[in-house]
């Protein structure tokens, strides 16, 4: 009887030892490797015409598990998918460091606007038969254009005459063609006077306008949103200054120059729009 009890104790101890070893092995599974690390990225063109392409280059400095996948997602300002396409033009499978080059092509049926590109690099890690891959992403905005003057502009206005010796005004503005046509929306044809100093003193508002560039002469003209003269809110209108050169677009530099005059009291100024990116 004592021998039987002794044997049973040995068997139980062996099972307990085996269980402890299994638990120890589970606890001691090797840790997952670090996620890929992207040090920096560059974008070849931040302004892309519909159907055009731009290249994003990611500098991956450490991907210890080796890269396995590269994806790109494009969304508009509301988070809705844009539907462009992409291709990876550099070898990336298994690399632990180096450049990953992605070419993005904008859809031809997307009219215009700023979109966000999200590029994700993913490694390959498996544990207990399960995918435990890690990834890293970068985001960048690009402007999709459908007309020649669609662009971001640095705007400068020098006031020739007004009630307060106002200005100069400096700001940035995104000009986009209306319905991809030949007219472009300008927030304030007075170059900032009506939406700044005159707004504070007289309660005026920005003088919205549609500017049009003559394709033969490059002369710039403008109307209000209904195709009528732009009101100066004092009983007059804001027109081309007859004492200045024609307002114009310079195709060599992309600069738009507006010479404007408010007819009621004679306020006038020169507003220049200088593109900050190249189409």
Contacts of 51 (CB under 8 A, 6+ apart): 105, 106, 107, 108
Instruction: Round the average pLDDT of the chain to a whole number and report it.
Output: 91
Q: Where are the domains of the chain?
A: 37-145, 151-275
Same fold, 37-145 and 151-275: no
Q: What is the pLDDT of residues 9-66, one digit of tens each?
A: 555 555 554 555 455 455 567 899 999 999 999 999 999 999 999 999 999 999 999 9
Q: What is the pLDDT of residues 215-252, one digit of tens each?
A: 999 999 999 999 999 999 999 999 999 999 999 999 99
φ and ψ at residue 5, rounded to 5 degrees: -60, -40
**pLDDT value of residue 2:** 52
Q: Which CATH number fits domain 151-275: 2.40.128, 1.10.287, 1.20.120, 1.25.40?
A: 2.40.128
Domain 37-145 belongs to what architecture? Sandwich (2.60)
Cα→Cα distances 89→24, 102, 106, Å: 46, 6, 16
**pLDDT value of residue 14:** 53
| Structure token digits, residue 103 | 């070419």
Q: Are 134 and 257 in contact (CB under 8 A)?
A: no
């Amino acid at each position: 009887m004592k021998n039987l009890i002794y044997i049973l104790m040995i068997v139980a101890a062996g099972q307990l030892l085996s269980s402890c070893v299994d638990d120890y092995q589970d606890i001691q599974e090797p840790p997952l490797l670090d996620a890929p690390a992207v040090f920096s990225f560059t974008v070849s063109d931040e302004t892309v015409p519909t159907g055009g392409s731009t290249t994003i280059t990611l500098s991956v400095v450490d991907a210890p598990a080796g890269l396995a996948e590269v994806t790109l997602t494009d969304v508009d300002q509301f988070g809705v998918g844009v539907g462009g396409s992409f291709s990876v033009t550099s070898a990336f499978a298994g690399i632990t460091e180096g450049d990953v080059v992605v070419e993005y092509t904008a859809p031809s049926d997307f009219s215009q606007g700023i979109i966000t590109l999200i590029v994700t690099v993913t490694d390959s890690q498996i544990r207990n038969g399960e995918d435990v891959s890690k990834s890293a992403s970068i985001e960048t905005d690009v402007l999709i254009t459908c007309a020649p003057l669609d662009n971001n502009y640095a705007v400068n206005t020098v006031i020739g005459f007004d009630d307060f010796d106002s200005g100069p005004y400096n700001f940035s503005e995104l000009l986009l063609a209306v319905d991809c046509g030949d007219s472009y929306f300008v927030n304030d044809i007075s170059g900032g006077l009506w939406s700044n100093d005159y707004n504070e003193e007289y309660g005026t508002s920005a003088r919205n306008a549609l500017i049009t560039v003559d394709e033969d002469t490059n002369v710039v003209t403008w109307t209000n949103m209904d195709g009528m003269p732009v009101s100066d809110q004092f009983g007059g209108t804001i027109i081309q200054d007859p004492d200045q050169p024609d307002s114009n677009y310079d195709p060599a530099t992309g600069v738009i120059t507006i010479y404007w005059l408010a007819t009621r009291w004679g306020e006038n100024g020169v507003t220049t729009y200088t593109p900050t990116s190249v189409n």
